[in-house]
Amino acid sequence: MKKLVALVLALVMVLGLTAAFADDYHFEIVSKGFQSTYWQAVLKGATEEVEKINAEGKDKITMNFVGPDSESDVAQQVQQFTSALNAAPAAIGFAAVDQNAFNDLLKEALEKKIPIIGFDSGVPGAPEGAVYANASTNNYVAGTVAAEGMWEKIVARIEAAPGTVRIGEVNQDATGESVTQRGLGFIDKIIELAAAKGWKVAVIGNEFYVNGVKGEKAAEADAKIIIEAKVPAQSTVELCANEASVLLNEDDLISVFGSNQVAAEGVVAADKNLFKCGTGDDTVIAVGFDSGATLKAAIREGVMYGAVTQSPVGIGKVTIDLLLASAKGEPVADTDTGCAFYTLENIDTPEIADNLYD
């Protein structure tokens, strides 16, 4: 027994010495998990950047990239973040699944002077100074980009329509920052574009989205456009598909927006039975978000009109750069990694294709 303890202690001492000698930067990155292939692309971007920097020889980086089973597993992510803190890394990259559960831990990181770099949706509401910088998409803007892309296609139809038209929106949840910002951004932009044409817009459906809209809402009876926002009980593709089915079954629906990959895949799955979506004038114009094999196939087949892509590989790369800079004590600033609307026309162009993934 004593020999075993001695062996263990010796091992730990030796490893401790090793750590002291290497010019290692160890980063802990806590993401939102790998539920959608989007995150695999972020991981790819981060891994490639780490390899590139290590190959240059000046700094040596190691990273531990983890995430919970799904974006709703708050407890798991709290445990993972605590573990990341306890590993005493040079810096932590973090994309919080929930804005409220991490305040104490972030304060602890601040006290321990461990830099935190937010990425993807970052860490909104973090205590002052805890998060040094963010590498993320501006999700509200991304929602407006989706609205603008869709508007081009549908504005003529709305003009020609005799009665009211309906635009659907499927949001995976009413709680995550990315999805809610995109959902609200989309609705606000539609209201703005409609107002320029003198049309009134009513917003119905899930309470959170109805109440969160900043634009001016009209009553259903007066409106030319009705926007219906739906949120399933659980953020799975099957349940999103059920909500999308209800929208697709409504006869006055002219377009639908799925505000993230899961919701967009739900729309595609629902349409497999209903055949409502397409790119023609008598079909429902579907707009999605991110990419992935299902959505790319849907766009190529003409089922989905277009989607908004973020730059997940870019997010991974920029996160590593920011982590290294903050670990060295250099100043860091927020970086908007951008988003773009793509359709069948530009899906193969290099700027778009680099950001798409399976």
Q: Using CB under 8 A, which residues numbered 300 to 339 contact other proteins?
A: 300-301
Distance CA 37, CA 261 (A): 9
179-198 residues in contact with other proteins (CB under 8 A) are: none
Question: 88: alpha, beta or left, given left = phi > 0 and alpha = psi -120 to 50?
Answer: left
State the minimum distance, in angstroms, from the CB of residue 157 to other proteins.
19
Size of the site for other proteins (CB under 8 A): 81
> Are the C-beta atoms of residues 116 and 94 closer than 8 Å to each other?
yes
State the minimum distance, in angstroms, from the CB of residue 186 to other proteins.
19
Q: What angle do CA 150, 254, 259 make, to 5 degrees?
A: 50
Which of 172, 355 has the CB closer to other proteins? Answer: 172
Which of 191, 299 has the CB closer to other proteins? Answer: 299
State the minimum distance, in angstroms, from the CB of residue 98 to other proteins.
5
Please pick, from the candidates 47, 48, 53, 64, the single residue that binds other proteins as defined by CB under 8 A. Answer: 64
200-259 residues in contact with other proteins (CB under 8 A) are: 206-208, 230-234, 236-239, 242-243, 245-246, 249-251
Q: Which residue has the tokens 């593709």?
A: 237
Which of 304, 325 has the CB closer to other proteins? Answer: 304
Residue 100 interacting with other proteins (CB under 8 A): yes
Please pick, from the candidates 195, 216, 273, 351, the single residue that binds other proteins as defined by CB under 8 A. Answer: 273
Please pick, from the candidates 53, 74, 161, 340, the single residue that binds other proteins as defined by CB under 8 A. Answer: 74
Query: Residue 163: how many CB atoms within 10 A of its CB?
Result: 6
Please pick, from the candidates 47, 48, 62, 353, the single residue that binds other proteins as defined by CB under 8 A. Answer: 62
Q: Please state, in angstroms and as integers, the Cα–Cα distance from residue 278 to each residue in 128, 256, 269, following that order.
A: 47, 11, 14
State the minimum distance, in angstroms, from the CB of residue 118 to other proteins.
18
Helix axis angle, 74-86 to 103-111, nearest 10° = 10
In three-state secondary structure terms, 282 is: coil
DSSP 201-240: EEEEESHHHHHH--S----TTT-SEEEEEE--SS-SHHHH
Name the H helices within the chain: 2-21, 37-56, 74-86, 103-111, 139-160, 177-196, 207-212, 237-248, 261-274, 293-301, 312-327, 350-353
Point out which span in 11-19, 48-56, 193-201, 336-344 binds other proteins (CB under 8 A): 11-19
Which of 41, 193 has the CB closer to other proteins? Answer: 41
> Are the C-beta atoms of residues 258 and 234 closer than 8 Å to each other?
no
Please pick, from the candidates 120, 169, 188, 265, the single residue that binds other proteins as defined by CB under 8 A. Answer: 265
State the minimum distance, in angstroms, from the CB of residue 52 to other proteins.
20
State the minimum distance, in angstroms, from the CB of residue 333 to other proteins.
27
> Are the C-beta atoms of residues 82 and 45 closer than 8 Å to each other?
no
Point out which span in 35-43, 50-58, 187-195, 314-322 binds other proteins (CB under 8 A): 35-43
Any idea what DSSP says for residue 184? H
State the minimum distance, in angstroms, from the CB of residue 132 to other proteins.
21
State the minimum distance, in angstroms, from the CB of residue 274 to other proteins.
5
113-172 residues in contact with other proteins (CB under 8 A) are: none
Q: Which residue has the tokens 């830099």?
A: 115
Please pick, from the candidates 70, 121, 309, 319, the single residue that binds other proteins as defined by CB under 8 A. Answer: 70
Reported as type and span, the H/E element at residue 167 is strand 165-170
Distance CA 259, CA 182 (A): 6
Point out which span in 183-191, 212-220, 262-270, 308-316 binds other proteins (CB under 8 A): 262-270
The residues, any chain, with a CB within 8 Å of residue 79's CB and separated by 6 or more, are none
Residue 346 interacting with other proteins (CB under 8 A): no
Query: Tokens for 224?
Result: 């030319």
Question: Burial level of 62, CB count in 10 A (0-12/13-18/19+)?
Answer: middle
Please pick, from the candidates 19, 129, 156, 302, the single residue that binds other proteins as defined by CB under 8 A. Answer: 19
Please pick, from the candidates 2, 3, 23, 111, the single residue that binds other proteins as defined by CB under 8 A. Answer: 111
